[in-house]
Amino acid sequence: MQPPGYQSTAVRRVITALVLLLLVVGGLVVTDRVASAYIQRVVIGLGISIILVVSLNLSNGFTGVFSLGHVGFMAIGAYTAAILTLPVTLKRVNLPDLPTWLAGVQMPFLPATLIGGVLAMLIALVVGLSLMRLSGPYVAVATMGFLVIVQVILVNWDKMTRGARTFAGVPSHTTLWWVWGWAAVTVYAVWRLVRSAYGRQMMAIRDNEIAAQSLGISVMRSRLLAFCVSAFLTAVAGSLWAHFITSFSPKAFYFTQAFGIITMLVVGGMGSVSGSIVGAVLITVLSEVLRNAERGMDLGIVQIPAVYGASQILMAVIFVLVIIFRPKGLLGEREINFDRLFAGPRRRETADKKG
């Protein structure tokens, strides 16, 4: 027997989801039509960050296994897709030594992105299988090793990547809609995964690995799945980013770049999907404000001189403060509960009746 009010809760949930969707789509339409180029860039960047943070959360926050090398998957997605979408003429100029089967290829955006994602996923499978036996600090160091390996390959495999030189001329396929479309896919996919049986397994493992093993839950399989899906999504974000910024080099995919995403994760709360989104929004806004301040501001009375690097330092300080005072982040492991926002009075009614 379903408890009374169940129907209305389900209906309420669907309505809430639709409302949210409408709000976001509406916001995007407004941004697309009306907002300045700068705002549009920020919103695109925000969307990409959301994909990165949510997928990192899938890999770290839910399984408790911390991958410091995730930005390596972003690089794989970026370079793979960019090489595939680069116009043939540009390939001849910039990547003259490309193997012939690639030199003539020019793909549209979506297939290239998907291929990048799948490649990252396959690599994640191999890496994941190796790393799954490790725990604690050893995983962290091993994932760092992975990132270094990716970095070294990118910098030295001149034929494919132009080495340390800038990879330019990537067609700017990325639009607001592509990014937020993928962001929606990411959020939905991770949400479903977490709420599914697999997801419950992952939480169980994170909280108590030994107990989970005794229940016969395959620790490895659940973690591997999370790791691979996460890699796929991260690579997609990489492709989106590559086709947004249109020129980049291996330097963009190294540890300190990863720090911004990690800050968003920590601020929002590891283990909360909505927290990741909140974290991404907060930190993006904060970064933009700080970045503008970095250039120096003239407030009339006070003159703040240009201080480069200050925004990073401030982020680091914020990070440490959050870890000290609110180590679980803003949302910890809970999600934003819309039910509570809309359901207040009716809930209390039912409770009184029972009591």
Partner 1 sequence: MTPFQYLLQQAINAVSIGSLYALMAIGLAMVFGILRLINFAHGDLIMVGSYAALLALVLGAPFWAAALAGIAASTVTGLLMERVAYRPIRGAPDVAMLLTSFAVTVFLENLAIMLFRPTSRPFPTPPILSMNLEFGPLHISSLDLFAIAITGVLLVLLTLFVTRTEMGISMRAASQDLLAARLMGVNVNRVIAYAFAIGSMLAGVVGILWSARVGKVDPLMGFFPVLKAFVASVIGGLGSLPGAVLGGYILGTLEILLQGLLPPALTPFRDAFVFAALIILLLFRPNGILGAREREKI
Token pair, residue 111, equals: 């297939």
Site mask, partner 1, residues 96-135, x = CB under 8 A?
----------------------------------xx-xxx
Q: How far is the CB of 299 from partner 1 (least distance, A)?
A: 21
The site for partner 1, by CB under 8 A, has a size of 46
∠ CA 216-219-222 to the nearest 5 degrees?
Answer: 115
Q: How far is the CB of 322 from partner 1 (least distance, A)?
A: 10
Question: With binding defined as CB under 8 A, does residue 56 bind partner 1?
Answer: no
Question: With binding defined as CB under 8 A, does residue 310 bind partner 1?
Answer: yes
Question: 177-216: which residues touch partner 1 (CB under 8 A)?
Answer: 210
**Which residues have CB under 8 Å from 52's CB, separation 6+?**
74, 234, 237, 261
Please identify which residue in 146, 167, 178, 198 interacts with partner 1, judged by CB under 8 A. 146
Question: 236-265: which residues touch partner 1 (CB under 8 A)?
Answer: 255-256, 259, 262-263
Contact 279/53 with Cβ under 8 angstroms? Answer: yes
Please identify which residue in 149, 197, 297, 304 interacts with partner 1, judged by CB under 8 A. 149
Q: Which is nearer to partner 1, 146 or 182 (CB)?
A: 146
Part of the chain binding partner 1 (CB under 8 A), chosen from 28-36, 88-96, 149-157, 280-288? 149-157
Coil, helix or strand for 332? coil
Question: With binding defined as CB under 8 A, does residue 141 bind partner 1?
Answer: yes
Please identify which residue in 20, 111, 138, 292 interacts with partner 1, judged by CB under 8 A. 138
Q: Where are the alpha helices (DSSP H) in the chain?
A: 6-34, 37-59, 71-85, 88-94, 100-103, 109-131, 137-156, 158-161, 176-195, 197-207, 209-214, 219-245, 255-268, 273-294, 310-325, 338-354
Amino acid at 209: E
Contact 113/185 with Cβ under 8 angstroms? Answer: no
Q: In whole angstroms, give the CA distance from residue 164 to residue 94.
A: 13
Please identify which residue in 4, 137, 216, 345 interacts with partner 1, judged by CB under 8 A. 137
Contact 200/55 with Cβ under 8 angstroms? Answer: no
**Matching residue, tokens 């989970």:** 212
- Choose among 276, 282, 262, 271: nearest CA to 334: 271
Q: How far is the CB of 294 from partner 1 (least distance, A)?
A: 10
Question: With binding defined as CB under 8 A, does residue 136 bind partner 1?
Answer: yes
- Choose among 20, 28, 18: nearest CA to 180: 28
The residue ranges that bind partner 1 (CB under 8 A) are 60, 64, 66, 68, 130-131, 133-138, 140-142, 144-146, 148-149, 152-153, 155-156, 210, 255-256, 259, 262-263, 266, 270, 307-310, 312-313, 315-317, 319-320, 323-324, 327
